[in-house]
Chain A
Amino acid sequence: MKILVCMKQVPQKDAPLKLNETGTWIREDVSYEVNEPDAYALEEALRQKEKHGGEVVVITAGPARSQQVLREGLAKGADSAIHLEDPGFVGLDAFNTAKAFAAAIKEENFDLIFTGLQSDDYGYAQTGVVLAEIMGWPHATIIMQIDKQDGGIKVKRELEAGFFQHVDMPLPAVLTIQSGINKLRYATLIGIKQAKNKPLRKVTMDEVRSSLGDNMQKIEKLYIPQKTKKTEMLTGSPAEIAKQLVEKLKNEVRVL
């Protein structure tokens, strides 16, 4: 099987975030890491390749710094990488990102495309689904398990309230992968060393621009929620406290 894994570079989970000047996104000077579900998607792809043979290709869209996630993918065992390299890719909505990916891979024949369930930054959970639509392929979301069988795959999806759904699907297909479904491997030093010599194809914005349209979604304003709750400690003897409390429930909160 030939599998494409979409990997996104997102701000590190515990990084202190600052808003940019226009208040529409965060400032660039933070640390980045691989979007968490994408790491599981990569691991799943590598496991499928180990079981059934084939090839794993990683793809990302973003500025030069985002090449780091591809390097990580290659170091862990992906065979090659595609980098849609331009700072402009950061501002695309899910629809345009999917279109850009579709344009970048139109010459290739994948059996499966994995994306993470959603990204840790925008959290749209749309890119994979839209990509399937553009490719004209079936898709399934929140995937926990993938088993290859004759003529297709059988996948396990996570539903609400502890329910799971098992679906038979034909190939090719797009799957969005849930976090935590496998144990991530480390990039070994040999892997890191070998990654340098693996093919990495760069795609410029110009090469895909004709496939893109206007963003259908726009971030108007981003803000850090103001702390509004205030705790007040009542002091005094129990009787006094009880009195104050009743007072407040009556006059301030007006529930009595």
Chain B
Amino acid sequence: MATAAIPKTKIIGGSFLIEDRTTAEVFTPEDFTDEHRQIAQTTEEFARNEIVPNIEKIEHKDWQVTRDLLKKAAELGLATVDIPEEYGGADMDKISSCIIADRIAVSGSFSVSFGGHVGIGTLPIVYFGTKEQKAKYLPKLASGDWIAAYALSENTSASDAMNARTKAVLSKDGKHWVLNGEKMWITNAHFADVFIVFAKVDGEKFSAFIVEKDFPGFSVGAEEKKMGIRGSSTAPLILNDCQVPAENLLGEIGKGHVIAFNSLNIGRFKLGAGVVGGARNALTNAISYAKERKAWGKSISDFGLIKEKLANMAIGVYVGEALAYRTVGMIETILADIDKNAPDASTQIRKGIEEYAVECSILKVWGSEMIDSVVDEVVQIYGGYGFVEEYPAERSYRDARVNRIFEGTNEINRMIITGWLMKRAMSGQLALMPAIKQLMDEVLAGPSMGEPLEGPLAAERTIIANAKKAGLMVSGVAMQKYMMGQQDQQEIMGAMANMIIEAYAMESAVLRTQKLIENKGEAACETAIAMTRAYISGSVDKVESEAKRVLAACAEGDMLRTQMAILRRLFKYEPINSISARQHVADRVIEAGKYVF
């Protein structure tokens, strides 16, 4: 039976661009331990038996229902995996935490309330709280008696949260911080008990505070009327001479950004896991509808164009799982070695998660865009019934959209992906510069492409290796042209981010499938292989077109022609029959009536 499957190798964040990984070095859903599987089962049962029957009430903003569900989730331990045992938490690994975010996702509204509470609301206290703060707040949060929220955004600053206007001034007697300002878009606002509020001390030093709903001067404004996740509470907080006890400063004065960004990193990988779960759930609905719905005397699931959609959805979930669990696996490898009783344990844990800022951003961007394409096609499969409220397609379509906006918009995350990698490259933390130089020398030297790869998925692995080379080449060209000014070239940064995102996604998919083949043999992995091939055939097209876009913006004339010649060499491969691959995938999910991998 599977146990202790967490890979041993500690991997440098962002190194997937320049290093190849073996299958033993990546964690995949197939590596779940028995414990992980049990947690998945409990979460699925909770979602099916407790959340699904209450979706109507949740959507009508019956906050008590949501609170009761959060309480129940807390009692089962689903809401407390990240809280240490000494404060009443279940205290389990981050993989479990990811599994829960994934399998609980049957209602966008509930998932957002849940994430606001267990993730960005509670974790700042877990990682940055003093002993006293932890002892005071964590047991109440762990029991579900109290619900948490996270208040960073303001009406004039959300993407650039550091420009917050909310101000904190220490009272003359030094006993209280007096907070003034307004926070906006705060999830759980109308039923949370404790808020992590960011404000600038003396209007300058960005800091975090623990604010209880009953503190004098605290109030919650009108509920927003939203497009989706209507059963989650989103409202402004009004801080009018709000008195916060001096000891409720969280972390250090002027270090609020560390708390804000680390919470978002965690928020992002949980969001990534959540959208994979949401997409899986939407796919299940779509399959059963497509099987039932008759047109032209057949089930619409018999039509090629519908099969293609179902296959694409299944592929999205498969690759999404690969991305999410590979990322959380790397985090867990680092965390597993940290002595939880060490005085700086929280700092080490944070550092471990921060290491994979790029991977977390990739997961967030890729996942939120994947689910949007899934729910869009689900509406399409439902036809007219996808456009009306009686069926789940319409709700999931509305609910998915916000994932591209919060936890850092996808634009901001794209800038983080390229910017963070460039920063690491410049500081030498990541050997990107030497890799670019070596690649440039290699490609300019002519068409020797080294030894051909062998074994399962050799063609796909070659495509990925070349896609990475193209990424490096394009980076080199762009850096030469713009030097540090590249930060201002957002379109180029964005295109590079897209190449990086696809490289990580393709590689994660291939590694997952390769590992499956190693364990089960090629014959038993037909569907996984088909999904991987079909994904890569589409993905590599995206990489190629982004590469061209950047090159054309950076060079012209002979230079551009030379670069394009190199690019063509890198993207020379025989196309696979992706139509039959998708048909195979669709037939499998239609036969099973659900996503089965």
Do A and B actually bind? yes
> Which residues on the A side are within 8 Å of B75 (C-beta)?
188
Chain B CB within 8 A of A16 CB: yes
Give residues 554-597 of B contacting A (CB, 8 Å): 591-594, 596
Closest Cβ–Cβ distance, residue B384 to chain A (whole Å): 25
From 156 to 204 in chain A, residues with beta carbon under 8 angstroms from any chain B beta carbon are: 186-190, 192-193, 195-196
Contacts of B28-70 to chain A: CB distance below 8 A:
34-35, 37-39, 41-42, 45-46
CB of A67 within 8 A of CB of B1, answer yes
User: Does A193 contact B591, Cβ atoms closer than 8 Å?
Assistant: no
Chain A nearest CB, measured from B552 CB (Å): 50
Number of interchain pairs (Cβ within 8 Å): 54
Any chain B CB within 8 A of the CB of A29?
yes
Give the size of the chain A interface in residues (CB under 8 angstroms): 21
Asked if A189 and B90 make an inter-chain contact with CB atoms under 8 angstroms apart, the answer reads yes
Instruction: Check A188–B1 contact: CB distance below 8 A.
Output: no
- Is the CB–CB distance between A188 and B38 below 8 Å? no
Query: In the complex where A188-B76, A189-B78, A189-B81 touch, is A68 in contact with B42 (Cβ < 8 A)?
Result: no
Partner of A75, one of B38, B591, B592: B38
Chain B CB within 8 A of A64 CB = yes
**Cα-based distance from A156 to B137 in the complex (angstroms):** 48
B514 lies within 8 A of chain A by Cβ: no
A72: Cβ under 8 A from any B Cβ: yes
Q: Is the pair A192, B35 in contact by a Cβ cutoff of 8 Å?
A: yes
Of all chain B residues, which has the CB nearest A233? Answer: B297
Q: How far is the CA of A204 from the CA of B78 in the complex (A)?
A: 36
Say yes or no for A107: interface residue by CB 8 A criterion. Answer: no
Is residue B388 within 8 Å, beta carbon to beta carbon, of the partner chain?
no
Distance of B439 from chain A, by nearest CB (Å) = 43
Please, which residue of chain A has its CB at the minimum distance from the CB of B596? Answer: A31
Cα A187 to Cα B46 in complex, Å, equals: 10
Chain B residues with Cβ below 8 Å from A187 are 38, 41-42
For window 205-254 of chain A, which residues contact chain B by CB distance below 8 Å?
Answer: none
Q: In the complex, which residue of chain B has the Cβ closest to the Cβ of A15? A: B592
Distance A16 CA – B76 CA, assembled complex (angstroms)? 31
CB of B77 within 8 A of chain A?
Answer: yes
A71 and B90: CB pair below 8 A? Answer: no
**B80 interfacial contact with A, CB 8 Å:** yes
Q: Does B96 contact A (CB under 8 A)?
A: yes
Question: Is B246 on the interface with A (CB-CB < 8 A)?
Answer: no
A188 touches B77 (CB 8 A): yes
In the complex, whether B453 has a CB less than 8 A from a CB of chain A is no
Q: Which residues of A contact B39 (CB under 8 A)?
A: 189, 192
Known: A14-B593, A16-B592, A29-B524. A192 touches B38 (CB 8 A): yes
B426 at the interface (CB under 8 A from A): no
| Chain A interface helix/strand/loop/mixed | helix
For B591, give the chain A residue with the smallest CB separation.
Answer: A16
Is B345 at the interface (CB under 8 A from chain A)? no
Q: Identify the interface centre among A72, A186, A189, A190: most chain B CB within 10 Å of its CB.
A: A189
Q: Which residue of A lies closest to B49 (CB)?
A: A186
Question: Is B135 engaged at the interface, CB distance under 8 Å to the other chain?
Answer: no
- Asked if B90 and A190 make an inter-chain contact with CB atoms under 8 angstroms apart, the answer reads yes
Instruction: Name the CB-closest residue of A to B77.
Output: A189
Query: Does B553 belong to the interface (CB within 8 Å)?
Result: no
Contact A186 B35 (CB under 8 A): no
A90-122 vs B, CB cutoff 8 Å, 1 = contact: the mask equals 000000000000000000000000000000000
Establish whether residues A189 and B42, one from each chain, have CB atoms under 8 Å apart when the complex forms.
yes
Query: Smallest CB–CB gap between B294 and chain A, Å?
Result: 13
B592 vs chain A, min Cβ distance (A): 5
B42 close to A186 (CB less than 8 A)? yes
Proximity string of chain A (1-45) to chain B, C-beta cutoff 8 Å, 1 when within and 0 when not? 000000000000011100000000000010100000000000000
Q: Does B92 contact A (CB under 8 A)?
A: yes
- Residues of chain A within 8 A (CB-CB) of B593 are 14, 16
A208, B76: Cα distance in complex, Å: 39
Give the complex CA separation of A61 and B238 in angstroms: 62
In the complex, the answer to whether A189 meets B591 with C-beta atoms within 8 Å is no
- Distance in angstroms between the alpha carbons of A64 and B107 in the assembled complex: 36
- Assuming A71-B38, A193-B92, is B76 touching A186 (CB within 8 A)? yes
Contacts of A14 in B (CB 8 A): 593-594
**Minimal Cβ-Cβ distance residue in A for B92:** A189
Closest to B72 in A: A186
Residue pair A189, B76 in contact (C-beta under 8 Å): yes
A189 x B80 contact (CB < 8 A): yes
CB distance from B336 to the nearest CB of A (A): 16
- Let me know if B38 and A190 touch, CB within 8 A: no
Contacts of B81 in A (CB 8 A): 189
Contact of A186 with B92 in the complex, beta carbons under 8 Å: no
Do residues B591 and A72 form an inter-chain contact, with CB atoms below 8 A? no
Q: Which residues of B contact A195 (CB under 8 A)?
A: 38
Contacting pair A186 B45 (CB below 8 A): yes
By Cβ-Cβ distance, the 9 closest A-B pairs, closest first, are A189-B77, A189-B90, A192-B38, A188-B76, A188-B77, A187-B42, A186-B42, A186-B76, A16-B592
Residue pairs across A and B with Cβ atoms less than 8 A apart, 26 shown, are A14-B593, A14-B594, A29-B524, A31-B596, A64-B1, A65-B1, A67-B34, A68-B37, A75-B38, A186-B45, A187-B38, A188-B90, A189-B42, A189-B76, A189-B78, A189-B80, A189-B81, A189-B90, A189-B92, A190-B77, A192-B38, A192-B39, A192-B77, A193-B35, A193-B90, A195-B38
Beyond the given A71-B38, A189-B92, could you list 15 further A-B residue pairs with CB under 8 A, ordered by the A residue number? A14-B593, A31-B596, A64-B1, A65-B1, A68-B37, A187-B41, A187-B42, A188-B76, A188-B77, A189-B39, A189-B76, A189-B90, A189-B96, A192-B35, A192-B77
Which B residues form the contact surface with A (CB < 8 A)? 1, 34-35, 37-39, 41-42, 45-46, 75-78, 80-81, 90, 92, 96, 524, 591-594, 596
